[in-house]
Amino acid sequence: MAAEDEGDGPVAALLRDGLDAEAPAEPAAALRQSVNTSWDASAERAALRDNLNAYLTREAAAYSGKENQWKNAQGEKSELAATQAKLLREAEELRRREELALVAKRERDAREQDRKRATDEREAALGALSQTLESHFTRLGADEANAARRQAELRARSDEAAARLEEVKAQDLQRRQAAAWLREEMVRSELEREEREAAIAATEATLRDELKRARDEREAAVATQTAAEGRHATAQMREDACLDREEAVEKRELGMDAMEAYLAAREAFAAEDERARHTLARDVDARAHAIAAADTLSKQRLAALGAKSEQLAATRDDLEALALKADERSRMADDRERQAQLAEERAKEEQARALALLAEAEAKRREAEKALEDALREAARKAEEALEKREALDREAELERRRLLELAEAKRRDLEKQYADELRKASDEAAGKRKQLENDILKRMDKLDDLKKEHEEKIESERARLHDLARHGEEQRREMLKDVSERAKDVAAREERVRTQKPRIITQTVTHHKEQPSLGAFGSYEPAASPAPTRSPPPSYGAQPTPAADPFTDPYDVAEAKAEDLYVEGETQEVVPQRKPRIGLGALAKLGGAASRARKAAAKKAREAEERAKKEAEAAAAKEAAAKREAEEAAAREAKAQAEAAEAARAEEEAKRLAEEAAAREAAALKAAEEAARAEEEAKREAEAAAAREAKAQEEAAEAARKLEELKRQEADAARIAEAEALAKEAAEKERKAQEASDEADRIAAEKAEAERIA
């Protein structure tokens, strides 16, 4: 069994396939015939070459298997390196996620700062817009004040012109009275009286035209003031529209584009207001120029009236001279006196009618005052209610805003603290896991490097040993082939000698001067003495027992011993010189067995190394799976932290939205309060305007009464009474306008109250 276990080399194959040492012994003749004729050296060489090639093929296959194992180990190491790189990439990904979380937090902080900055800029822009509107309305107020001042100047000039006209009329009346006094003693002709009356009528018509023109100019000034009030109302409407725009702008979050659009709209609105202001200024200047031109024209007309009055005075002097010369005109004077009495009666009737109209105007004034007082009381009551509502809304909005801000701040603090704790914990765990993973990876890399070096050293040593064995086998093969060729030559020479020379029977004991080789099947052979020196065929020794096959017995030594024992030259056996020592097939078989054992040991070590590498790879895979699980857990914790951060951000956004809604409600309340204040101011302005109109109506009524008294004192004629009637009608019209203004103020107050109720 030991021989079969160690018989994997070429020597065992040679012993199995080549020489058969276990074959039974043959007779000497058959042996001689086999030795001399049947041994084929070329077949032996071919068998040896084939067996040696088979051995080398097996060794090459074993070496190739080891190389494949080494390649597999290299592949496993590359897989382990890839796994290590993957773990490093996952650690880098985890670190990158942490950095991204920090970057996201910084971006959120930056967005919050940008939002705060945008809010500040919006508030600054709204403040600037409010200042611009205030300055614009201040300029409008200044323009209105200038227009009112110019209108007052125009009215003063008109009053001055009216006063001068009254003075001219008074002078004319005095002259007429003087003429009447003179006409008591004079007699005037009818033609002169008609001419004088025509001149007086023309003068009165001229004065009436001048008064009409002055009245038209005053009405134009009033229309200008009305237009200015309309433009002021337009500006007020624009202000309301601007406030609506501001509210709309406050209701939405402004980005940079929206802010630019808002600024562009504000600039356009400011430009439009500037154009409106310039247009109003141009209109006021044009109206002022028109009023100045009308004033100049009225002055020119007054100068013309003065010249005409002087001309009339000269004409009157001429008439008086004619009256002094004409005594016959006394009758006409009596008639004129009678007509004067009739005119006085008519003047009394007109005065009574004027007094009735004045009483009616006074009653209407009292009614207007009462309605105005009621409107003022109602406006004051509504303003107080609006102020109370505004204060209540302010208090409620402030409390709601504070509560929401406190809730949002507490929620934000809790979420920030929780997020910071989770993030710090996750960061610490990830850092510890990453550090532990890096240490494990470094240890595995060191161990793998050591295993790699050890395996490479083993492979190099095995390769060197195999190369030595191959080289030694090649040398043995060459030496064996050389010995085989030498032995073949010796055998051929011996056969030639046997054929050519006469053999003799050995008659003496052959003494060998060399070590006796193992004879194998001929081990029990001892030569016997021949009875006669004659040549005879070799005796038959019969069947010899077959000994056990010795795998380390050299068959060439056996054959040589057989030849030397059977055939010798001459009378005595020549002493065969001792040959140089060489490695026999037995030693080669021993070397083959050692090589087989070494190969098996190397294969066993390779299997053990492979098993160890597999175990280490499994351990590395288990650690890698654990690292993956830890990385997944860290990623899950990070995702959870991010979700909590997103929830915190959403809660913060909700709190901000609630705060913005509270601010919007507060702004709406403020706007309602401002609307109420504006309504109150509008009512006050309307009341002041109504009071001013009432005062003006009273002044005009007083002026009318004064004029009536003056007409009563000076015995005014029908023209002055008609003028008084016109003034009374104008006063009634103004009273009606005052009543309409009071009704409009009541309507505006009702609309404001309805708007407050809706708000």
pLDDT score for 4:
43
Q: What angle do CA 528, 532, 538 make, to 5 degrees?
A: 55
pLDDT score for 530:
45
pLDDT score for 593:
67
The answer to whether 169 and 311 have CB atoms below 8 angstroms apart is no
Evaluate if residue 559 carries a pLDDT over 70: no
Q: Tens digit of pLDDT for each residue in 301-319? A: 667 766 776 776 677 677 6
The answer as to whether 269 is a domain residue is no
The answer as to whether 692 is a domain residue is no
The answer as to whether 298 is a domain residue is no
Q: Which two tokens stand for residue 442?
A: 């470094």
The answer as to whether 360 is a domain residue is no
pLDDT tier, 216 (very low <50, low <70, confident <90, very high otherwise): confident
pLDDT score for 543:
42
Selected residue with higher pLDDT from 187 and 614:
614
pLDDT tier, 181 (very low <50, low <70, confident <90, very high otherwise): low
Evaluate if residue 119 carries a pLDDT over 70: yes
The dihedral formed by the CA atoms of 494, 495, 497 and 502, expressed in degrees to the nearest 10:
120
pLDDT tier, 193 (very low <50, low <70, confident <90, very high otherwise): low
Evaluate if residue 20 carries a pLDDT over 60: no
Evaluate if residue 575 carries a pLDDT over 50: no
Evaluate if residue 727 carries a pLDDT over 60: yes
* H-only helix segments in 252-329: 256-325
Please give the average per-residue pLDDT across 221-232, as a whole number: 72
Please give the average per-residue pLDDT across 123-130, as a whole number: 72
Evaluate if residue 5 carries a pLDDT over 50: no
Evaluate if residue 23 carries a pLDDT over 60: no
Evaluate if residue 418 carries a pLDDT over 50: yes
How much of the chain exceeds pLDDT 90, in percent?
Answer: 0
pLDDT score for 587:
56
pLDDT score for 17:
47
| Angstrom distance (rounded) from CA 708 to CA 347 | 10
Which residue range is the domain that position 112 belongs to?
49-248
How much of the chain exceeds pLDDT 70, in percent?
Answer: 64
pLDDT score for 492:
83
Q: Tens digit of pLDDT for each residue in 362-401? A: 787 788 778 777 877 887 787 788 778 878 887 887 888 7
pLDDT score for 544:
43
Count up the domains in the chain and report the number.
1
Given the structure tokens 């404001």, which residue do they identify? Answer: 752
The answer as to whether 615 is a domain residue is no
Please give the average per-residue pLDDT across 553-579, as a whole number: 48
pLDDT tier, 539 (very low <50, low <70, confident <90, very high otherwise): very low
Mean residue pLDDT of the chain comes to 70
The answer as to whether 7 is a domain residue is no
Evaluate if residue 3 carries a pLDDT over 60: no
Among the ranges given (102-116, 187-201, 228-242, 684-698), the one the predictor scored with the smallest mean pLDDT:
187-201
Evaluate if residue 293 carries a pLDDT over 70: yes
Evaluate if residue 535 carries a pLDDT over 70: no
Please say whether the dihedral angle defined by the alpha carbons of residues 708, 712, 714 and 716, taken in this order, is positive or negative. positive
The answer as to whether 107 is a domain residue is yes
pLDDT score for 94:
81
The answer as to whether 738 is a domain residue is no
Single-letter code of the amino acid located at 756: E
* Residue whose C-alpha is closest to residue 542's, from 565, 556, 560, 524: 524
pLDDT tier, 240 (very low <50, low <70, confident <90, very high otherwise): confident
Q: Tens digit of pLDDT for each residue in 421-449? A: 877 887 788 778 777 877 877 887 787 78
* Residue whose C-alpha is closest to residue 231's, from 152, 135, 153, 137: 137
Q: Tens digit of pLDDT for each residue in 615-655? A: 877 887 787 777 778 778 877 877 777 777 777 677 777 76
The answer to whether 589 and 2 have CB atoms below 8 angstroms apart is no
Classify burial at 23, counting beta carbons within 10 Å of its beta carbon; exposed 0-12, middle 13-18, buried 19 or more.
exposed
Q: Which two tokens stand for residue 759?
A: 């708000």
Evaluate if residue 579 carries a pLDDT over 70: no
Please give the average per-residue pLDDT across 32-53, as a whole number: 66
Selected residue with higher pLDDT from 721 and 696:
696
Q: Which two tokens stand for residue 667?
A: 């702004």
pLDDT tier, 489 (very low <50, low <70, confident <90, very high otherwise): confident
* Residue whose C-alpha is closest to residue 10's, from 487, 603, 593, 485: 593
pLDDT score for 519:
43
| Angstrom distance (rounded) from CA 237 to CA 265 | 17
Evaluate if residue 513 carries a pLDDT over 50: no
The answer to whether 147 and 287 have CB atoms below 8 angstroms apart is yes
pLDDT tier, 416 (very low <50, low <70, confident <90, very high otherwise): confident
pLDDT score for 754:
77
